[in-house]
Structures are given as structure tokens and as C-alpha cells.
Structure 1
Amino acid sequence: MPYTADDRPPRRTSEELRAQIPGWGVDLDPTDRPSYPKERRDLETGAHWDFPERQPEHAPRERSIEHRFLTPVFGTAQPLHGVSGMIRRKAYQYGEDKTYRWLMLLGADRVDAVGSHMRSLVTLRPDNPLTETGVRSEFTANGWSSRVGQKRYDVRHHWMDPILVGGPWALAAGAAVLGGVKARRALRD
């Protein structure tokens, strides 16, 4: 039988709740609450404002559609850029309760990570997967013994960690070798 609004039980009074639930209503009196002094509005705070001065917005910022405006202060160090920025801008057009919004933001993070790896491959100092992913610490800092026999829950996914961490690097190296072989063949012909 489906639930309807008419099926709701009648609301219980404070006295009924206090009789049935031990300790119910102990914080109804504001002066009995431990946080009461923090909730008072008549104390002097020393602030010279009720609402802080707003930081100027020089470029359009991403913001949730649930909020009227940005927070008074916001970060500008990492502006949205490239494909990941386009994905993030699109994600912010949806409400915070939508799963696809958060999946799009996660996807944008992955796109940004792949872009960073690709940019590092064309620089003079590319990323070093052995030192920057923690693989070396598995052999030098007790990595294996800290997981085996410890009843840790994350042991279940350890088999896929080398694939997720090393897989993109192996694919990039394979693509580079394949590209080099094809380029050499093209130069011979």
C-alpha cells in the first residue's frame, strides 16, 4: 500500500516524547545548551562589518545554481581552462542534487589529470612515475608488510592499483614507441 500524506501518525507532544525517549528535550532551554554563548547575537565581536566586503569578480566564476551569489572571498589561482574547464562549466549548470553533475566534475578532474600527464611528457622534465606515485616506497618503506595480514579493507582493490597508476604510463610509453617506429618507417619510405 503506498504512503500518502493522510497516513501520517498524529504529532506527539513534548511531554509524550519526554516520557518515551530518555533525555529528549534537554536542550530546549537555550541557556542550558553548551553552545548558547556562541549563538548569542548581542555580544561584541570586534568585526567592523555585518557581511564582509565582497571580492571583485574580474572573470566569470563557476557557482552553484542553488546559491544566489559567490562567497565573499573565493580562489582565483586556478581558473578553469581547456576541455576540463568546459566540462566543469557545464556541470555547474545543474543542481547539486544531480548525480551527473558530480560525475561530470569527477570526469573533469580526470581529463585535467590526463592533460597534465600529456603536458609533462612533452617537457624537458617529465613526471617520474617511480618516485611520484609511491611505487619505490613499496620496497623501501615497509609498504607490502603494512598491508598484508593487517585486516585492512582496502586490500581488496590492491590488485588493480598497479593497473590504475602504472597503466596510463605504460600506455603513454607504448604509444611513444609505436609513434617512433611509425615515424622511422615513414622516413625510410
Structure 2
Amino acid sequence: MPYTADRPGLAPSADELRERIPGWGADLDPEHRRTWDQRDDLPDTGARWTFPERQDEDPRREKSIEHSMLPPVFGTAQPLHGVSGVVRRFAYDRFSETKNTRWLLLVLGDRIDAVTAHARSFLTTRPDDPVTLTGVTSEPRHRPIASRFGRGRRDLRHAWLDPIIVAGPWILTVAAAAAAVQRARRSR
């Protein structure tokens, strides 16, 4: 049963590991390890519990299929919602934590949530501003060329893609909106 106060199985002793694995611990002589003596002198924490008081479970709350129950305390501030919630719930209900499909679906749910948040922002009095939110305006003040070249940065390989990934969806949205407005004018 997960989430119990029971102490997990202790690691095998150094002698057991030396018997099982030839050459194990040749460089780990306890006398030469600074933290060795400190492990035996840990104070008693005073923690006494068998199982913490459980928060009321919400059957709609997502959990991994590997666990039989939710942890005793869990967050409820951001419940799943909309299309992104459907995608995320599918990932939690169907795939193990060890499957890449699960994580890719969770990333997809995150991207769907980001797109819908951007779309919702246009219905407010302060819509998202793609220029300032991407940091383009602060780039010239922080040595943009010197900070990239001659420092062995790995991200230079895909740096040319960054403007396309960041600005591309905004440009496509503006182009689609302009095309829709133009079609509406022609039909009148």
C-alpha cells in the first residue's frame, strides 16, 4: 500500500554488497567519508504517526494507475477543465507513468490549455501582447550576440526556430483573422 509511515526496506549493508559485487566500494572507505559519522548522530524528529489524516477524496481527481489511492493531501486549486482536461484525464486513466505516450499527452494538454488561455485573453480588456511577453523588447539590453556565441551554448542549433515557434502561431492567427474579415467584406 503506498503512502504509509512504514520505513522502506533498508539498502543492503556494505559487507553484503562487497560479497555480491566484486570490487564494490573500493573507494568508499567509511573513515574517509565526511558524512559517515553524522548519519549515526541524527536527532529524533518526534514524528509519530501511522497514517496521516486523509483529505476528502474527489473521484474526479486524477491519479496514476500505479497507485491504489491518492496521497493523504493533494492539491485542488487547478482542476482539469475543457479539452485539455479531457486529454490529461485520458493520459492519467490509460497510461502508466513509464510510458512516453502519457507524458506526450500531458504536454499536449498543456499546449491546448495555453492556446485556449491566449484565445480567452482576447475577450478581456487586456489581451496578451506577444511582443513583450516573449522578451523580445528586453533582448537588446542583455548583450544578445555576445551571450550566444563563443560560449559553447547547445541551444544555438535550434535558435533559428525560436522566432518561428513563438511568433508563428500569432502570425497565423492574425492572417486567418484578416482573411476572415476580407471574406466578410467581399460577401457584403
TM-score, normalised by the number of residues in structure 1: 0.77
Look up the match of 1:77: 77
Per-residue CA distance 1:102-155 (angstroms, 9 max, x = gap): 111111111111111111123221101111111111122323321122221111
Equivalent residues in 2 for 1:163-174, closer than 5 Å: 163-174=164-175
Look up the match of 2:46: 46
Report % sequence identity: 49
| 1:68–1:15 distance in 2 versus 1, CA, 3 Å | closer
Select which of 13, 35, 54 maps to 2:39: 35
| 1:149–1:51 distance in 2 versus 1, CA, 3 Å | same
Shift of 1:34: 4.2
Shift of 1:57: 2.4
Distance 1:19 1:151 in 2: 38
Look up the match of 2:6: none
Q: What is the letter of the counterpart of residue 53 of structure 2?
A: E
TM-score, normalised by the number of residues in structure 2: 0.77
Look up the match of 1:14: 18
Distance 2:80 2:41 in 1: 42
Find the structure with the greater CA-based Rg. Answer: 1
Structure 1 segments of 4 or more deviating over 4 A?
15-21, 24-27
Distance 1:154 1:178 in 2: 35
Distance 1:173 1:16 in 2: 66
Q: Which has the higher contact order (CA 8 A, sep 6+)?
A: 2
Look up the match of 1:130: 131
Structure 2: runs of 5 or more not aligned = 1-15
Shift of 1:20: 7.1
Distance 1:91 1:155 in 2: 33
| 1:177–1:86 distance in 2 versus 1, CA, 3 Å | same
Distance 1:13 1:112 in 2: 49
Shift of 1:36: 4.2
Aligned length: 169
| 1:44–1:171 distance in 2 versus 1, CA, 3 Å | same
